[in-house]
Structure 1
């Protein structure tokens, strides 16, 4: 039998000459190191996990560009500590949650001057996405009371089943009771913060603040236009104020957190299960 012979040589990176591994160990080592260096190149890009990317309902407009994509991240223990410190203030908790968990809006870093510009519905999109990135898609609920049969039951829901309202125009034209119409825009995070800035204000005063900011103009039946503002918000009739506020809430782009229902399998009834930010992050 003929003995097998192995040729322990390989081409050096430069010049194509052969290096004898057994006869020139030092040269072989140098050649291998050079080969590894030449072939390393740029490190491969690590893609962002799919559950950290989200599409906004309306998006952020900057310099005539609509930034519709956003990136969020999983919350950490340090984030939990930061959220625990603001737990007593729902608005501050929401703002902190968005600041911690949102990485970017389109090509823009998600800074404190960017996030308040988002519509309330888009902020809800981000809250949902942060929750899913941190805890996953499912939520377990105990002791849900069925309004149809009176029994309590537990259930698991998928956050993906929450319906969402797509964005159309960023403004609404709402008919008024005595003729004419109000042109309004959807509220943003900045509007919400202004509305809730005075903790001692009544609900009526909160409504006036929001209307003063979101009513762009009033058009009467003759075509006369009055710009919005505090005086206009207070001069609107009660029915018109309620109509405008209802339309803003009903048509706001984004997830319908307050409209979620769950089926009670025992009796077949659909049970309302409205969600808030506190519900989504109840473990904090």
Structure 2
């Protein structure tokens, strides 16, 4: 029987010569070790695609700085199954959507502890970004009724064209009808969850819960300050309460989803097309 011959060789790291594995085992071992040593450096940094990055309208205050960059990702089939299981609960669907589609806020992983700290406008910005990276920038609508001519029409909007506003302050001062003012902060995801915790509560009760959390204080015409509380909210006039809620909604940083409009090309009229999270993910 003819003896089997092996001719495996390694390139020598010094000078490009070949090393005979069987004839010079010491040199072969040194060559392998050299290759391993040369491959243990830091892996190359892989840049994050631009469409995965979001600039938050307000940002998260953390460690004495405002974090305004977040990263999102495309939703997968597994994510769709998870969202389908909570679709009957709008708040739970929103929370699940954000947890699945948001990767990080700054250098902080986007966990269920971090996301509720974001203002509602920042959360809306993340939802829009997740929608865009998952399904694309354009959305088609049909059956829109023109307020100007009464005709039905279909149209396509670009989510990249949505208007947005940033926060100029963390607090809002609202004048009261009989003088003085209310100082309120913008609501967060945690405030929204508390507001909607009782599904049997009325809209008025929901608003009271929200304002009891966001009302910092009330100052009267004499300069006296009363700290915010549930009892203080219930003591305010209905007109003042509605004014506070309106101004909070108007000044809230983030994409103006409810103020979206579209032009009816046939008559040139501008038609309101308010959007919600349910509209953005209507295919789920």
Q: TM-score of the superposition, structure 1-length normalised?
A: 0.88
Q: Give the equivalent residue in structure 2 for 1:235.
A: 235
Conserved 8 A contact 2:196-2:206? yes
Asked whether 1:19 is paired with 2:29, we answer: no
Deviation at 1:13, TM superposition (A): 2.1
Q: Give the 5 Å matches for 1:56-205.
A: 56-205=56-205
Q: Give the equivalent residue in structure 2 for 1:206.
A: 206
Task: Give me the whole-angstrom Cα distance separating, in 2, the residues matched to 1:144 and 1:38.
Answer: 65
Unaligned runs of 5+ in 2: 1-10
Task: Give me the whole-angstrom Cα distance separating, in 1, the residues matched to 2:219 and 2:74.
Answer: 47
Task: Give me the whole-angstrom Cα distance separating, in 2, the residues matched to 1:93 and 1:74.
Answer: 16
Conserved 8 A contact 2:54-2:70? yes
Q: Give the equivalent residue in structure 2 for 1:7.
A: none
Conserved 8 A contact 1:13-1:34? no
In the superposition, relative to structure 1, how do residues 265 and 110 fare at CA in structure 2: closer, same or farther (>3 Å)?
Answer: same
Q: Give the equivalent residue in structure 1 for 2:258.
A: 258
Q: TM-score of the superposition, structure 2-length normalised?
A: 0.88
Give the 3-state SS of the residue equivalent to 1:244 in structure 2. Answer: helix
Q: Give the equivalent residue in structure 2 for 1:271.
A: 271
Cα displacement string for residues 138-159 of structure 1 (whole angstroms, at most 9, x for unaligned residues): 1111222212122222111110
Task: Give me the whole-angstrom Cα distance separating, in 1, the residues matched to 2:122 and 2:189.
Answer: 9
Deviation at 1:94, TM superposition (A): 0.4
Give the 3-state SS of the residue equivalent to 2:17 in structure 1. Answer: strand
Greater mean alpha carbon deviation, residues 114-123 or residues 57-66: 57-66
Conserved 8 A contact 2:12-2:18? no
In the superposition, relative to structure 1, how do residues 244 and 38 fare at CA in structure 2: closer, same or farther (>3 Å)?
Answer: same
Unaligned runs of 5+ in 1: 1-10
Deviation at 1:241, TM superposition (A): 0.3
Task: Give me the whole-angstrom Cα distance separating, in 1, the residues matched to 2:238 and 2:70.
Answer: 38
Task: Give me the whole-angstrom Cα distance separating, in 2, the residues matched to 1:140 and 1:261.
Answer: 13
Task: Give me the whole-angstrom Cα distance separating, in 1, the residues matched to 2:65 and 2:159.
Answer: 30
Moved over 4 A (4+): 24-27, 30-42
Deviation at 1:12, TM superposition (A): 4.2
Task: Give me the whole-angstrom Cα distance separating, in 2, the residues matched to 1:200 and 1:229.
Answer: 22
Cα displacement string for residues 197-231 of structure 1 (whole angstroms, at most 9, x for unaligned residues): 11111111111111111110000000100000000
Cα displacement string for residues 242-278 of structure 1 (whole angstroms, at most 9, x for unaligned residues): 1000000000000000001111111111111111000
Task: Give me the whole-angstrom Cα distance separating, in 1, the residues matched to 2:12 and 2:94.
Answer: 61
RMSD: 2.1
Deviation at 1:87, TM superposition (A): 0.5
Task: Give me the whole-angstrom Cα distance separating, in 1, the residues matched to 2:173 and 2:122.
Answer: 21
Task: Give me the whole-angstrom Cα distance separating, in 1, the residues matched to 2:265 and 2:280.
Answer: 23
Q: Give the equivalent residue in structure 2 for 1:6.
A: none
Task: Give me the whole-angstrom Cα distance separating, in 2, the residues matched to 1:180 and 1:235.
Answer: 15
Greater mean alpha carbon deviation, residues 129-138 or residues 246-255: 129-138
Asked whether 1:47 is paired with 2:47, we answer: yes
Cα displacement string for residues 48-103 of structure 1 (whole angstroms, at most 9, x for unaligned residues): 11111000011111232211110111101111011001111111110110011111
